[in-house]
Amino acid sequence: MQADYKKYTLNFKRPSGTSRGVLTTKETWFLKISDDDKVGYGECGILRGLSIDDRPDYQEKLRWTCNNIDLGETVLWEELREFPSIQIGIEMAFRSLNARKPFELFPSAFTKGKASIPINGLIWMGEKEYMKAQIQEKIEAEFDCIKMKIGAIDFQTELELLKYIRGEFSSEEIELRVDANGAFKPDEALEKLRRLSEFEIHSIEQPIKQGHWKTMADLCRETPIPIALDEELIGIFNVTKKKELLLTTQAQYIILKPSLIGGFKGTQEWIDLAEENGIGWWITSALESNLGLNAISQFAYTKNNKMPQGLGTGSLYTNNIQSPLEVKNGNIHYNPARGWKFNF
């Protein structure tokens, strides 16, 4: 068995704003495993500045992984606990290697083109008019769940945008989610949550920075809006520690980004713990190319969660990989009639 990797830079169609800055490019790494005449592909979707494995020795670890591919998926996954984006790349590549079709990792009604997954329409930060244009675009595209990133522009302007949506659509017509990416200061967070609650918000992701469990627990107890932990899950590898986080904070939801939390196996650990403790969850991509988005979407479908998932990032890039993935009417579809165009 042999393995190789290569770097690929994805270019955003338009600079995309978050509370951590503006993104114009996204680096990712592709894995290829070869075994006789079989080939398997995976993506190591590292997110610089956020992934726990954003480390100087990242490429060295990729090289080590390829050199030790004969250890097999299970042993490698354990060895790579501190490199979750490589864990999922390995999971994808081995699944692809052993699949009947290399890009059909989790065969289902979804991959047959007979079922789709509801997703949220993502609104990136920017000037008010740009954000308003995005909102109108998502509504015209028949999304009934919109997620708006907040925390980088003036809070009053963000409230006005939410008021604009609610003036046009009730909470029965459009579900509104907001994502603060940890932007609120602890001493102002509760008041901001109260002001946001006027607009019947479904949930807010990561209102304060991760790592402040007691403060987050206080917020989760007092909040008028359900809180979803996102960045908070990154870097927690131990199942006991995962359980401790959920029991301490008592958050209403958790957001699962497989590339950041240990791939499919790590995601399943969080799902099991969440369901044991009555906590809701959904799965979100983390700006992977269509190769990674494809695998994550297929995995998400098999989990049978009817809530809108966060899988609408495939159209962000000018040079994404051609794939059967399509977004129509607020759903992501797999169109078997459309082929793959992926060279490695």
For the chain, the first-to-last Cα distance in angstroms comes to 16
Q: What is the mean pLDDT of residues 42-54?
A: 94
Using pLDDT thresholds of 50, 70 and 90, give the confidence band for residue 23.
Answer: confident
Active-site residue, from 257, 303, 328, 341? 257
Q: What is the pLDDT of residues 114-130, one digit of tens each?
A: 999 999 999 888 788 88
Q: Give the burial class of 319: count Cβ atoms within 10 A of its Cβ; 0-12 exposed, 13-18 middle, 19 or more buried.
A: exposed
Whole-number pLDDT of residue 14: 86
**CA 196 to CA 111: how far, in whole Å?**
38
Residues 6+ positions from 310 with CB-CB distance below 8 Å: 119, 120, 122, 147, 255, 282, 283, 284, 285
- What 8-state DSSP symbol labels residue 154? -
Share the mean pLDDT of the chain. Answer: 95
Give the pairing type, strands 331-334 and 325-328.
Answer: antiparallel
Q: How many residues does the chain have?
A: 344
Using pLDDT thresholds of 50, 70 and 90, give the confidence band for residue 19.
Answer: low
Active-site residue, from 147, 149, 192, 242? 149
Residue type for 325, please? L
* Token pair belonging to 237: 């590898």
* Token pair belonging to 101: 């079709």
Q: What is the mean pLDDT of residues 174-183?
A: 94
Q: Evaluate whether 271 touches 303 at the Cβ level (below 8 Å).
A: yes
Axis crossing angle, helix 128-140 with helix 155-168, rounded to the nearest 10: 30
Pick from 3-7, 163-167, 201-205: least confident: 163-167
Q: What is the pLDDT of residues 207-256, one digit of tens each?
A: 999 999 999 999 999 999 999 999 999 999 999 999 999 999 999 999 99
Predicted confidence (pLDDT) at residue 20 exceeds the cutoff of 70 = no
* Token pair belonging to 188: 């102002």
**CA 146 to CA 156: how far, in whole Å?**
19
Q: What is the pLDDT of residues 255-288, one digit of tens each?
A: 999 999 999 999 999 999 999 999 999 999 999 9
Residue in the block written with tokens 């490695």: 344
Structural domain spans, the chain: 2-98, 117-334
Please report, rounded to a whole number, the percentage of residues in the chain having pLDDT higher than 70.
99
Residue type for 19, please? S
Whole-number pLDDT of residue 99: 96
Q: What is the 3-state secondary structure (H, E, C) of 232-261?
A: HHCCCCCHHHHHHHHHHHCCCEEEECCCCC
Please report, rounded to a whole number, the percentage of residues in the chain having pLDDT higher than 90.
88
- Residue 149 annotated as catalytic: yes
Q: Which CATH number is associated with domain 2-98?
A: 3.30.390.10
Q: Which of 173, 33, 305 is nearest to 44 (CA)?
A: 33
Predicted confidence (pLDDT) at residue 151 exceeds the cutoff of 90 = no
> pTM for the whole thing?
0.96
- Residue 257 annotated as catalytic: yes
Predicted confidence (pLDDT) at residue 152 exceeds the cutoff of 80 = no
Q: Do the domains at 2-98 and 117-334 have one common CATH topology? A: no
Whole-number pLDDT of residue 16: 78
Q: What is the pLDDT of residues 57-75, one digit of tens each?
A: 999 999 999 999 999 999 9
Pick from 160-164, 201-205, 258-262: least confident: 160-164
Domain 117-334 is in which class?
alpha beta
- Alpha-carbon Rg for the chain, nearest whole angstrom, is 20
Using pLDDT thresholds of 50, 70 and 90, give the confidence band for residue 18.
Answer: low
